[in-house]
Amino acid sequence: MPLVGQDRKGRSLAIDVTIYGAGVFGLGCAWALARRGARVRVVDPAGVGAGASGGIVGALAPHVPEQWNQKKAFQLDSLLMAENWWEAVAQVGGGAPGYARTGRLQPIEDEAALTRAQGRATGAATLWQGHATWTVEDAPEEWSPGTAQVIRDTLTARIHPRRACAALAEAVQALGGKIVPDATAEGMILHATGWQGLSAMQDEKGRPAGNGVKGQAALLRLDRRDLPQLYADGLHIVPHADGTVALGSTSERDFEHTDTDAQLDDILTRARAAVPALAGADVIQRWAGVRPRARSRAPLLGHWPNRPGHFIANGGFKIGFGMVPKVAEDMADLMLDNHDAIPQPFRSDTLAPWANGD
């Protein structure tokens, strides 16, 4: 591996790391790398937040606290890192990612759900190590997911995805990083190219490393900024700091276009049925994006097999914003310090050798 600041023949470089993709994974890694002194250049012909990351939902919600595994532990670490991580982004760049740990309410539909919820409260007490709670309580009257009792967790946070990307871009540039539509690669190369990148990376049998899963979401004008987000009828209902509430999302493996359509109307109907407080609120934005889903459904991180000096950060799928602080710091550990802490289920180098793609 070349040293930072040198190419493979030991010649001096102006850029230490070229990052393809200005979504939250590319920008998040650029931020972590630049913060540690690397000179970074982010290349994306479509611009900042043009892909899945330029959206409006931004639920940073934990996995259920039971049947613990490496993926859940990684996500917990990332959620716990998020507040300080995003605060530093805001301080250095001056942008406003819209982060707040406002918690979440989920419905308890019946006795079986109540028993499950109580079991998970015990799980959270151990697995979340005192950092957050999972409790069963009576639903508040004005803002609830529609059942008499609810689960409240204090780990869930919100972020404004599009603004978070803009804030990361500002922070990277404040540290001297560049964000450009086109450039020749220099130094180490990180591929954070979202679903297009996953589709293009193919193994020897021609199987892609992953695919895109479209999602549609809506933004309503309704000021619930200090209230928890709701999870109702399988939908995330996320109050943002600017007096809007986001609703999402559809999950479409097969899609012919990337616009919104009648499936989003269905989401609006379901959300309003579950949460009457949404009924009179105007829809001020409809948005669709395509999530990067790796074959494993987990993030895909680490070395690009058989391509020395090339790295991958991809596969954020439905929780890319929740995962990004830890993804970015682990990638910076790997790329700058050769310290490899990437969990086994996420490792790109355990996949079959890849034939092509970038």
Ligand X SMILES: Cc1cc2nc3c(=O)[nH]c(=O)nc-3n(C[C@H](O)[C@H](O)[C@H](O)COP(=O)(O)OP(=O)(O)OC[C@H]3O[C@@H](n4cnc5c(N)ncnc54)[C@H](O)[C@@H]3O)c2cc1C
Report the distance separating Cα 24 and Cα 258, nearest Å: 19
* 41 part of the interface to ligand X, by CB under 6 A: no
Which secondary-structure segment (H or E) carries 164?
A: helix 161-174
Which of positions 317-356 make contact with ligand X (CB under 6 A)? 317-322
> Which letter does DSSP use for residue 252 in this model?
B
Closest separation in Å from C-beta 45 to ligand X: 6
**Whose CA is closest to 331, among 345, 312, 348, 315?**
312
| Binding characters for ligand X, 137-176, by CB under 6 A (x = yes) | ------------------------x---------------
* 102 part of the interface to ligand X, by CB under 6 A: no
Report the distance separating Cα 289 and Cα 152, nearest Å: 29
* 53 part of the interface to ligand X, by CB under 6 A: yes
Closest separation in Å from C-beta 27 to ligand X: 7
* 103 part of the interface to ligand X, by CB under 6 A: no
Closest separation in Å from C-beta 139 to ligand X: 22
Sign for the CA dihedral angle at 171, 52, 192, 301 comes to positive
Task: Select the residue interacting with ligand X from 15, 23, 163, 351 (CB under 6 A).
Answer: 23
* 26 part of the interface to ligand X, by CB under 6 A: yes
Nearer to ligand X, 5 or 309 (CB): 309
Task: Select the residue interacting with ligand X from 2, 5, 36, 46 (CB under 6 A).
Answer: 46
Angle value at C-alpha 49, between 43 and 51, nearest 5 degrees = 90
Which of positions 180-239 make contact with ligand X (CB under 6 A)? 192-194, 196-197, 215-217, 236
Exposed, middle or buried, 84 (CB in 10 Å: 0-12/13-18/19+)? exposed
* 50 part of the interface to ligand X, by CB under 6 A: yes
CB under 6 A: which stretch of 82-90, 275-283, 309-317, 327-335 binds ligand X?
Answer: 309-317
Task: Select the residue interacting with ligand X from 20, 74, 85, 346 (CB under 6 A).
Answer: 20
**Whose CA is closest to 242, among 109, 141, 97, 108?**
97
Query: How many residues touch ligand X (CB under 6 A)?
Result: 42
CB under 6 A: which stretch of 107-115, 117-125, 275-283, 286-294 binds ligand X?
Answer: 286-294
Tokens at residue 349, please?
Answer: 């180098």
* 311 part of the interface to ligand X, by CB under 6 A: no
Nearer to ligand X, 26 or 65 (CB): 26
Report the distance separating Cα 329 and Cα 313, nearest Å: 11
- One-letter amino acid of 228: P
Under DSSP, is residue 260 helix (H, G, I), strand (E, B) or coil? Answer: coil
Closest separation in Å from C-beta 3 to ligand X: 25
Task: Select the residue interacting with ligand X from 4, 15, 17, 24 (CB under 6 A).
Answer: 24
Task: Select the residue interacting with ligand X from 4, 15, 17, 59 (CB under 6 A).
Answer: 59
**Whose CA is closest to 114, among 63, 64, 154, 149?**
149
> Which letter does DSSP use for residue 88 in this model?
H
Sign for the CA dihedral angle at 331, 333, 338, 342 comes to negative
Closest separation in Å from C-beta 254 to ligand X: 15
The label of the residue with tokens 């004008």 reads 221
> Which letter does DSSP use for residue 199 in this model?
H
How many secondary structure helices (H) and strands (E) does the chain include? Answer: 7, 18
Q: Contact, 339 vs 333, CB < 8 A?
A: yes
Task: Select the residue interacting with ligand X from 39, 104, 160, 291 (CB under 6 A).
Answer: 291
Which spans of this chain sit near ligand X (rule: CB under 6 A)? 20-26, 43-44, 46, 50-53, 55, 57-60, 161, 192-194, 196-197, 215-217, 236, 248-249, 289, 291-292, 314, 316-322
